Amino acid sequence: MDNISALIIDDEKDSREILRSYVGKYCPQVTLVGECANILEARDAIIRHKPQLLFLDIEMPHGTAFDLLEQFGEHIDFEIIFITAYSQYAVQAFNLSAAHYLLKPLDIEELEKAVAHVVTLLSQKEQLLRAKILLENLAAQTTQSRKLVLPLLEGFDVVKMTDILYCEAEDNFTCFYFMDGRKSLICRHLKYYEPLLEPFGFCRIHRSHIVNLEFIKRYIKGKGGSVIMEDGKEIMVSNQRKDELIRRIIGD
């Protein structure tokens, strides 16, 4: 595809200069069409330039990056690489949404990877749905509202957390099992999903399984024991993870 047009939106002049320099040197597929220091300037620049990509700092004068995005609602037709120095909550939301983010200070290799990913996504025209999922995850107050993006060869699936029964490791893949009987084989290791799922009611109970605690029907005693899931499947619990599972089920 042709070079992609991009805006830098960051209130720190030094940060803008560094990013401009890095993009110029290491991202030849990107053409910068402008820079903004706050969301008021950014809104006008987005309308005027219609960029395909935003390098978007989270905390700025007159509001956050998410305040800016909410002004466009469902009319987000650009990709976003977020830039953050600290926000763990935001990073978690980004990971759930398969979004792109860079941590300050910027790493050149990470910048190159993020831009390459954006180029691929733009060619697949998936940016609208991905941005929408990100905003939904950031706005969600409960686990029930959370969604997860599962990459597929032909695109991706968007699933609700509460539809997932359990996940099972299959070599370099993870198989997701759902309440409606479906299953989906995803080309990522189980360990990738462990930190994403655990804050939302999931627990790794064995090297090969992560389960949704809401769908455990019974615990059976043993060295590690086992659990019976809502669909009737019995899953072994490793001895090392037994105490954590029981603590998560019955509380401290």
How does DSSP assign 61-111, residue by residue? TTEEHHHHHHHHTT---SEEEEEESS-HHHHHHHHHTT-EEEESSP-HHHH
Specify the CATH superfamily of domain 159-250.
LytTr DNA-binding domain (2.40.50.1020)
23, 32 contact by CB (below 8 A):
yes
Residue 140: DSSP 8-state: -
- Indicate whether 80 pLDDT > 60: yes
Q: 33-76: per-residue pLDDT in tens?
A: 999 999 999 999 999 998 999 999 988 878 888 888 888 876 78
Mean local confidence (pLDDT), 171-191: 91
Residue 4: DSSP 8-state: E
Q: Which residue has the tokens 């990877």?
A: 113
| pLDDT in the model for residue 91 | 66
Beta-sheet pairing, 30-36 with 234-236: unpaired
User: Cα(81)–Cα(227) distance, rounded to whole angstroms?
Assistant: 41
Range(s) of the chain covered by CATH 2.40.50.1020: 159-250
Mean local confidence (pLDDT), 183-211: 91
Determine if the pTM surpasses 0.85: no
User: Cα(166)–Cα(34) distance, rounded to whole angstroms?
Assistant: 46
| pLDDT in the model for residue 210 | 97
User: Cα(88)–Cα(123) distance, rounded to whole angstroms?
Assistant: 30
Residue type, 137: N
Q: What mean pLDDT, rounded, does the chain reach?
A: 86
Range(s) of the chain covered by CATH 3.40.50.2300: 4-139
| pLDDT in the model for residue 8 | 97
Q: 85-144: per-residue pLDDT in tens?
A: 766 656 666 666 656 788 888 999 989 999 998 888 777 665 566 666 777 677 665 565
- Indicate whether 145 pLDDT > 90: no
| pLDDT in the model for residue 146 | 82
| pLDDT in the model for residue 134 | 75
Residue type, 116: A
What's the per-residue H, E or C state across 11-73? CCHHHHHHHHHHHHHHCCCEEEEEEECCHHHHHHHHHHHCCCEEEEECEECCEEHHHHHHHHC
Specify the CATH superfamily of domain 4-139.
Response regulator (3.40.50.2300)
- Tell me, rounded to whole angstroms, the distance of Cα 6 from its chain centroid: 21
| pLDDT in the model for residue 78 | 87
